Amino acid sequence: MRYSASVVLMLLALGVVSCSKPAATPAAPAPAPAADVKKVLEETCTQCHKLTRIQEYKGSEDWAAIVDRMINVNGAKVTPEQVPQFVAYLEKTFPKK
């Protein structure tokens, strides 16, 4: 009983230490402001088809899967940093159902 209580305390202490650390670490490069993401996405994603293709997309595929297909199948030039920004923007602007 004494043993397990001190193990629990130790784990709690470790938990507090390891949880507080990432919060203190400054986030990597700040994400581009929403307006910029919109502009860059509209330039990047209209090279092969119109923006309406995106605005009118009614399918069930996740935006992450679509962006991935545009890059890996269709050859869209999107940097790895832009992928999460585009996906977040698309999910917010054209939410599924």
Chain residues that interact with ligand HEC, rule: CB under 6 A: 44-45, 47-49, 53-54, 57, 59, 66-67, 69-70, 73-76, 78, 86, 90
Of the pair 10, 61, the CB lying nearest ligand HEC is at 61
Distances (CA, A) of 62 to 17, 36, 88, 96: 36, 22, 11, 8
Whole-number minimum distance, CB 79 to ligand HEC, in Å?
A: 11
Minimum distance of ligand HEC from residue 51's CB (angstroms): 9
Query: How far apart are CB 40 and ligand HEC at their closest, in Å?
Result: 10
On whether the CB atoms of residues 76 and 45 are closer than 8 A, the answer is yes
Alpha-carbon distance of 70 to 61, in angstroms, equals 13
Q: Which of residues 10 and 48 has its CB atom nearest to ligand HEC in the complex?
A: 48
Residue 13 or 62 with smaller CB distance to ligand HEC: 62
Residue 74 tokens read as: 């269709």
User: Cα–Cα distance between 19 and 47 in angstroms, integer?
Assistant: 44
